[in-house]
A and B are shown apart, each in its own frame.
Chain A
Amino acid sequence: DARVTQTPRHKVTEMGQEVTMRCQPILGHNTVFWYRQTMMQGLELLAYFRNRAPLDDSGMPKDRFSAEMPDATLATLKIQPSEPRDSAVYFCASGLVSDGKLAVDYNEQFFGPGTRLTVL
């Protein structure tokens, strides 16, 4: 049963501390997305990767957030230093996008369970 996994599931930290969230996409998927969900803003796209390369991270505060894919099985989202306004649920999703023009694109995104972050 293939699924996206995220760790940790819950994180409570103090303002100023570094936070690292990890995501393991579904094996074989070539696209990874990071989302943030808050009550006020709803679900926002922070960054997404295709074939491990960052395609768009315009939704991410660059001064404190960074996203990487060290390898095809691991995506990380780091906040340094963290602030109370970063408190949210962070979701990772993976998908498979075909490179071929004539191939069928399988564009569904599969979401992980999320990391609930609380910054005090």
Chain B
Amino acid sequence: KQEVTQIPAALSVPEGENLVLNCSFTDSAIYNLQWFRQDPGKGLTSLLLIQSSQREQTSGRLNASLDKSSGRSTLYIAASQPGDSATYLCAVRPDSWGKFQFGAGTQVVVTP
């Protein structure tokens, strides 16, 4: 059974520092991995989607890497801003049929 773990559960950094969020999964046979952001009281927003054949994806200040063999993905957020404060979740999918397995999330606070 696939298990997805996100460590740490919570993270607080001063504005301007780079954020590093970790996601690990036990079964390397994944179809893709997706990073989401959730703001309090709101739904999920997709940040980056990495296919199993890819090593990384980038969007603006965000960069996500994927190492299937070691069962890890890392989300980097450069030059953090208070607006980046949210909970970040990673989810892996074993096949194209869409059954995601989510991690518990990392709650991020960026202080001004």
**Residue B58 is within 8 A (CB to CB) of chain A in the complex:** no
A42 touches B100 (CB 8 A): no
Neighbouring A residues of B96 by C-beta, 8 Å: 97, 105, 107
A72 to chain B, nearest CB (A): 16
B49 touches A48 (CB 8 A): no
Neighbouring A residues of B89 by C-beta, 8 Å: 43
B105 touches A45 (CB 8 A): no
**Residue B45 is within 8 A (CB to CB) of chain A in the complex:** yes
B44 touches A111 (CB 8 A): yes
Report how far A107 CA is from B33 CA in the complex, Å. 10
**Residue A95 is within 8 A (CB to CB) of chain B in the complex:** yes
A52 to chain B, nearest CB (A): 14
A42 touches B43 (CB 8 A): no
**Residue B68 is within 8 A (CB to CB) of chain A in the complex:** no
